[in-house]
Homo-oligomer: A and B are copies of this chain.
Amino acid sequence: MELWFTEKQTSGVGITCKVNRTLHHERTPFQTLDVIETEEFGRMLVLDGMVQTTERDEFVYHEMIVHVAMQTHPDPRRVAVIGGGDGGAVREVLKYPHVEEVHLIEIDERVVEASRAYFPELSSALSDPRAKCLYADGIEHVKNSPGAYDVILIDSTEPVGPAIGLFEKDFYESVFNSLTEQGVMVAQTESPFFNGDLIKRAFGAVRSIYPISRLYLASIPTYPSGLWSFSLGSKSVDPLDVRPRLDGIKTRYYTAGVHKAAFELPAFVRELVG
């Protein structure tokens, strides 16, 4: 028997993956959580039927949500990751030796536990003494943390279920207040091919709040359309003005050249952000 997992990414298109075995299934208080082992992408974390991350292509998403902001802030020492319970973003943040503390604010503790059990390469950084897991609502947390972080990364699920508020203007305002003087935020904002309206709304909200705002892109095979957007808001430094310095940090997607190229939007994406 062949087992295939299919995620309908829109009402009319899906990705289908051959499954070697199913490793874990549960209903958490917030969502359904599955871990499967796929032939093409290795282990895959699936929440509410949607692919969150896979062993094979996670490096793109995690490097691109983290390094652009970390290189834009002149000296990021305190970092928050909202969502991101798999630990991949925390791992990338902790590649910077000058980081003093990273808070993972994940509403669903079970995601972190499943990652610890099945994705050691993603979750191992959560054992770093500089990492602290807070099982809380990200929206409430940033509201109650004025001026607390140099960088805030919004590593959310799709804008359905628990993550819906993480795409709203009110939230981006709280994030602004939770950032220090030269603070930088990045939010994942879905696919330009399939979610143009969401990008307009989410990026529009970021632009209305932050002195500097930029949309950038990365190629992620297991995400809808394979092309993904990130909305960056910055209080003082333009990401296009920085010269990224990796200083020995190893990456597989992000480079100094990719940092700049990711902001060069195809014409149809440029139209979305006016």
Where the two chains meet, the residues of A that have a C-beta atom closer than 8 Å to any C-beta of B are 4, 6, 10-18, 38-41, 57, 59-60, 193, 217, 219-221, 225-227, 251-255, 257-258, 260-262, 264-268, 270
**CB within 8 A of A221: which of B227, B260, B268?**
B227
**Chain B, Cβ-Cβ closest to A4:** B14
Question: Known: A40-B10, A40-B12. Contact between A255 and B226, CB under 8 A?
Answer: no
Alpha-carbon separation in the docked complex, A59 to B41 (Å)? 28
Lowest 7 A-B CB distances belong to which pairs?
A: A226-B226, A12-B39, A12-B40, A261-B264, A261-B261, A221-B225, A257-B264
On whether the beta carbons of A251 and B267 are closer than 8 Å, the reply is yes
A15 to chain B: which residues have CB within 8 Å? 13-16
On whether the beta carbons of B268 and A252 are closer than 8 Å, the reply is yes
With both chains docked as a complex, state the minimum distance between the C-beta of A23 and any C-beta of chain B, in angstroms: 16
With both chains docked as a complex, state the minimum distance between the C-beta of A134 and any C-beta of chain B, in angstroms: 32
On whether the beta carbons of A253 and B268 are closer than 8 Å, the reply is yes
A11 to chain B: which residues have CB within 8 Å? 18, 39-40
Alpha-carbon separation in the docked complex, A37 to B11 (Å)? 15
Question: Known: A13-B41, A39-B12. Contact between A266 and B258, CB under 8 A?
Answer: yes
Alpha-carbon separation in the docked complex, A221 to B228 (Å)? 11
A18 to chain B: which residues have CB within 8 Å? 11-13
**CB within 8 A of A226: which of B221, B262, B264, B265?**
B221
A251 to chain B: which residues have CB within 8 Å? 267
Alpha-carbon separation in the docked complex, A268 to B63 (Å)? 12
A266 to chain B: which residues have CB within 8 Å? 60, 219, 252-255, 258
Alpha-carbon separation in the docked complex, A268 to B253 (Å)? 6
Alpha-carbon separation in the docked complex, A57 to B268 (Å)? 11
Alpha-carbon separation in the docked complex, A4 to B268 (Å)? 28
Alpha-carbon separation in the docked complex, A60 to B268 (Å)? 10
A257 to chain B: which residues have CB within 8 Å? 264-265
A17 to chain B: which residues have CB within 8 Å? 12-14
On whether the beta carbons of A16 and B10 are closer than 8 Å, the reply is no
